[in-house]
Structure formats: C-alpha cells, structure tokens
Amino acid sequence: MSNQAVVSSITPTAKAPRNFRIPSVLISSAMGFLLIAALCAVFANVLAPYGYNDQNLLYRLKPPSFLGGPQGHYLGTDELGRDVFSRLVFSLRFSLIIAIAGTLIGAGFGTLLGFLAAHFRGVCDEALSALIDFQAAIPFMIFALAALAFFGNSILLFVTLLGLYGWEVYARLVRGLVLSAKELGYVEALRNLGFHPVRIYGMHVLPNIAGSLLVQITLNLPGIIILESGLSFLGLGIQPPLTSLGLMIGNGREFMTTAWWTAVAPGLVIFLTALSVTLVGDWLRDRLDASTST
C-alpha cells in the first residue's frame, strides 16, 4: 500500500464515497476561466486601454459601449469617469496576488505547526489543539475587523490577516497525515539510518502529502478571495489609490440603480473566480482519491 493510500484514508473527504461527479465540461470551463483570469492579471498593463486611476469627469457613469456608451469604454465608466474595464483587470491582478499570498502564508504556517505537533507531541500537540479551539471560537471576520481597527490598515497587515484565515485546517490535516506517515516502514527505516528529522520530513514525508495540501489550498483559496473582497468592500482592505474587486463593489453600490455596471462587473468576476477555483479543487480531490484508492 502506498503512503498516499494510507494518509488519504484519514481525511474527512475520503471517508464517504462521492456518488456525484462534476461534469467534465464544467471543469474545462472553470480551468479556461482561471487561465483567462490569470492572463488578464499578468497582462493588465497591455489589456487595459486606460490607467486604472485615469479620470474624465465628462464621462461620469457612462454605460458600456455595447449599450450605447462611448467607444473604448467596453464596460462603461464609474462615478469619477474612470474606465471600468481597465479598473477591473487591475483589480483582478491585485485581488489575486493578495489572495494567493495570504493562502500561501496560511498554508505554510499551518503546515509548520502541524509538523511540529506531530513530531514533538505532548505539550506542543496540546498547545496546537488549544490554538485551533481559540481560532474556532472567534469568528474570523470579527477578529480581522478588530485587528484592522486597532493596528490601522496596511498592505502587510492585511495580507498577514488573510494568511491567518484557515491555517488551522492545514495544521490539523498535516498533523494527521504526518502521524500516519510516521508509522510507515520507510520513515522508520530512515530514522534507524540516522537521517535528521528535518530531512525526513522535508524530503520524504512532505512530497508524499503534497497532493492533499494542494487540494486543501484550492479549497481554501475561494474563501480568501471572498474575505479580501468583503473587507475591501467595507473599506478596511485595499485602500485608494490602489484598487481591488471588493473596493470596486464598495464604490459602485451607491449607483446600483443608475449605473449597475460599476458593481455588477467586479461582482461577477468574484463569483466566477471563486466558483472556478472550487470546481477545480473538487476535481483535484476526486482525482487524488481515485489515484490513492487503486
């Protein structure tokens, strides 16, 4: 039996059989959208016809060009005459960078704590359990709002807060996977040969659990995207002159009845991005379960 087969058996997603499979056309569509979103974020400077802060008050709240608005403003303009399409591609870039950075911070922090708890056990294990209980007892949005209100807003603090979201999921998952891996013959053999624990965990255990971690990252990323958008919507996330998808919705909510495109366009991008990442995450989980059950 492979190491992946052993470790996957302890994960909650592998306990119950999944009778429903996502249609392949949805998976392909989700992957295609994520590819397009990534390309738009990377090449925002090329795709955007205007700067995301370029203002023209003569073109305030103009509709998209396909609805009779001025040519060159494909998705219309906002309350300051800024091109919505240009702001959208730059907002997508900033939101994805922040969400991915926060996800990686949370995954790294949780993985490290999971390894430490599984290796030292005892007090370290109990301390991790206490931290997880503390995290679960306080709604994270309340914690984030309090931290931003107390310490002030900055990009570094904001990304760090996003990184703290969901770390306990990685810690709990990694702890269980490492404890199972330690019972396998190859880990015991490496230990008897005198290999340092850091080398055993980093070069042999971590690669074997990387698949489960990747799945968890894809399942946590939509939550990070929505959290970033929610905080920015409330004015506690990304601050002008920068822009983000949540900030665009926050600015456009006052004009929903007269200029709906200012909020609908970024809202639709958030929805499709979160949905696409979730679909891909479910597909990866199914593939991992299928490969480890054979």
pLDDT at position 17: 47
Q: Angle at the Cα of 233 (from 263 to 273), degrees rounded to 5?
A: 65
Q: What is the pLDDT of residues 118-149, one digit of tens each?
A: 888 888 888 888 888 888 777 888 888 888 88
* Cis peptide, bond prior to residue 241, ω within 30 of zero: yes
CA dist 14 and 177 (Å) reads: 13
Element (H, E) at 191: helix 185-192
Domains plus CATH for the chain?
A: 3-17+44-292 (1.10.3720.10)
Kindly report the number of other CB atoms within 10 A of residue 113's CB atom.
22
Q: What is the pLDDT of residues 34-58, one digit of tens each?
A: 999 999 999 999 999 999 999 999 9
| Plot region of 181 (φ>0 → left; ψ -120 to 50 → alpha; else → beta) | alpha
pLDDT at position 95: 92
End-to-end CA distance of the chain: 9
Q: What is the pLDDT of residues 166-186, one digit of tens each?
A: 888 898 889 888 888 877 777
291: confidence class by pLDDT, cuts 50, 70, 90? low
DSSP type of residue 64: P
Contact at 8 Å (CB) between 184 and 6?
yes
For residues 191 and 229, which has the higher predicted lDDT (pLDDT)? 229
DSSP type of residue 11: S
User: What is the percent of the chain where pLDDT is above 90?
Assistant: 37
Kindly report the number of other CB atoms within 10 A of residue 214's CB atom.
15
pLDDT at position 101: 92
> Would you state the structure tokens that stand for residue 145, as one six-digit string?
């709002």
